[in-house]
Chain A
């Protein structure tokens, strides 16, 4: 049984002391702290004898009185008597008196002279009986420390509140100062200001709350990829994650120093919505790129890989499979192993029986009996390739843990990746035939856009001569905060790893397009296509001509991203390296049903444009005559 520790009781005592303007920990505060542990020894014993723990608390407070408004020393002292009582409690704990609260109560009663004992006597409590009851107390329920008051808790779920309670249990109160706009994951990012018991507030911290496993994962990634590589002025993960037993969620704190002038920190998404595009572009280059280049993207090594190794995981799972009931597990189907050709080339059909062998559990959705399998447990993105979603595992879901190896699962295919992507494209209400090789849009050079739905398997197999470096792994605009002095502070290191250098920048561009460009557009395909034509212009000119078009102006940050990418390309002007990445990052977005139609349509046409552009070796060599482009994608070297 886990229980409240002596140290935690002392923390509550400090809070109680501050409420009384005492700022020292006396026996009276320790006793009051005990009365505040719901399900704890004092509450339990007095409840059983029909007395109110609250009344005892008042009696104790009244005897101790309220202190001065002024303070005579910084921090909290411990009174000589409390020091003796705590030492006694510690001795009892060491001689096997448990839990800690019992040891403390016995030590308080032993002292006889202290304020709570005097107060108890005054209200007629039989101290001998109380002592006996404390010895005999069974500790039926688990004691729960009093909650930290959360100002702004209406913005949070119960599970999120539990995480914050644990993270800030040394404080009596916290204020939620800001809820950053949601990222793409289900996690929440908050700016929390802890308030000390004496009403002084500490520096605000950025808190991320997400599923426990993600939090643990992120801490691990942070320790191995980030900790020693951060520029001196960025956010850091503070201490160990909070993982309360009572919540499926966990939390991480990032340090944060308040902005000059008392402004609230904001993330890049909010910043970009409010600031001129030129400032955003400058921030991208000077704060983000220059700030992290040296430690991350700039330290790149030549890396030759197939696109799927770095990007397949962005797409829907290769298969959705229904697990067969255990009595049918001897059935034999087609044998599928991770990383083999089947996960990219298709050729599998709903209804087929498959045997999944030697996969790794990537995600467990407990409530729904779903397990997401992938190739392996390590950090590199290839480990998230070959994803298979297995349904109907309700009965044995508890046997699956993230990162564990699964020897074999037999199941029947419900859906393939093609099926899922087709559904997603149909949800965009296409005005074109979804199965054609091309879309009815032509580039400036008279080239018809490739249909991503048809083209993506080819793109996945494409060989890329790129570079490898440490990357953030999820660099969307919600994960970049604007720190003091305009520094870039990154948060959310869950997917930080060594990987394709351009990954971060293609994620960032897509994030810009759907969050900042799409809202400027109408949702008809024609209006979307007009915007994509501007993107196309960026493939053959360094920047868009200044003009009255507000869209051109809004694309200035994207132009800057392209300039940065230009500096990071493995081979000068071989832009296919980037377009392949961009095509797959954009294709991922069409499945995000919570994004507006215009954003998803823009993502689809952006993907189509990128796939088309990837066919040409580089923008300088683009054939202007059109029509007779050589397909160089089989080998870009």
Chain B
């Protein structure tokens, strides 16, 4: 879990649908944290089904993984609720709470 690189996340639903987040460096540690809390890397304050610290994105061997951080409502890749770190294919959508996110296509290959 080193090797962290810049990624581009697009919000795909909700009030910020269409917003593009350019992340360059996690605030803490090696992974980007998604959640409602102010100190997350991806702050999604308008979705009450998102936990304070909901999920994390991290890069391993050139592949991005998403991992649930013990959220109340779980994290989904496509329609599948994930258990443990799950690899994301470029352009694949993931969902936290009611909010869909998408990693930029081919992001891992940059």
Contact = CB atoms under 8 A, between A and B. Distances in A.
Interface string A17-55: 000001110110000000000000000000000000000
Contacts of B17: 26-27, 79-82, 114-115
A70 interface: yes
Q: Which of B15, B46, B47, B102 counts the most A-chain CB atoms under 10 A from its CB?
A: B15
Given A65-B98, A113-B12, A80 B46 contact: no
B19 interface: yes
Nearest to A24: B15
Contact of A81 (B18, B45, B102): B18
Interface string A88-132: 000000000000000000000000011100000000000000000
Interface string A49-70: 0000000000000011101101
A70 B48 contact: yes
Contacts of A26: 13-15, 17
Interface string B44-68: 0111100000000000000000000
Nearest to A17: B15
A79 B12 CA distance: 10
Contacts of B15: 22-24, 26, 72, 77, 79
B16 interface: yes
Contact of A72 (B10, B19, B46): B46
B13 A115 contact: yes
Nearest to B93: A118
Q: Which of A68, A70, A83 counts the most B-chain CB atoms under 10 A from its CB?
A: A68
A72 B12 contact: no
A63 B95 CA distance: 12
Contacts of B48: 68, 70
Contact of A80 (B16, B45, B47, B98): B16
Contacts of B45: 72
A79 B16 contact: yes
B104 to A, nearest CB: 12
A83 B13 CA distance: 14
B46 A84 contact: no
A64 B15 CA distance: 11
Interface string B10-33: 101111111100000000000000
A123 to B, nearest CB: 15
Contacts of A82: 17-18
A64 B47 CA distance: 12
A84 B13 CA distance: 14
A223 to B, nearest CB: 42
Contacts of B18: 79-84, 114
Contacts of A80: 16-19
Nearest to A113: B12
A88 to B, nearest CB: 12
Nearest to B97: A65
Nearest to A23: B15
Contacts of B102: 113
Nearest to B102: A113
Interface in B49-108: 98, 102
Nearest to A64: B13
A65 B13 CA distance: 9
Nearest to B15: A24
A65 B100 CA distance: 11
A23 B14 CA distance: 10
Contacts of B14: 24, 26, 79
Interface string B30-47: 000000000000000111
A114 B102 CA distance: 12
Nearest to A66: B98
A281 to B, nearest CB: 58
Contacts of B98: 65, 67
B75 to A, nearest CB: 16
Contacts of A22: 15
Contacts of B10: 113
Contacts of B16: 79-80
A37 B102 CA distance: 32
A115 B16 CA distance: 13
Contacts of A64: 13
B37 to A, nearest CB: 16
A65 B98 CA distance: 7
Interface in A560-619: none
A27 B12 CA distance: 11
Contacts of A81: 17-18
A418 to B, nearest CB: 74
Contacts of A27: 17
A80 B19 CA distance: 6
Contacts of A77: 15
A92 B12 CA distance: 24
Contacts of A113: 10, 12, 102
A423 B10 CA distance: 81
A76 B41 CA distance: 26
A79 B19 CA distance: 8
B71 to A, nearest CB: 17
A80 B17 CA distance: 6
A68 B46 CA distance: 8
A111 B10 CA distance: 14
Q: Which of B12, B16, B46, B47 counts the most A-chain CB atoms under 10 A from its CB?
A: B46
A84 B10 CA distance: 14
Interface string A514-539: 00000000000000000000000000
B79 to A, nearest CB: 10
A157 B17 CA distance: 43
Contacts of A115: 12-13, 17
A290 to B, nearest CB: 53
Given A26-B15, A80-B19, A115-B13, 4 more contacts: A26-B17, A79-B18, A80-B16, A113-B102
Interface of A: 22-24, 26-27, 63-65, 67-68, 70, 72, 77, 79-84, 113-115
16 contacts: A24-B15, A26-B13, A26-B14, A26-B17, A27-B17, A65-B13, A65-B98, A68-B46, A70-B48, A72-B45, A80-B19, A82-B17, A82-B18, A84-B18, A113-B12, A115-B13
6 residue pairs, one from A and one from B, having the closest CB atoms: A81-B18, A80-B18, A79-B17, A24-B15, A81-B17, A65-B98
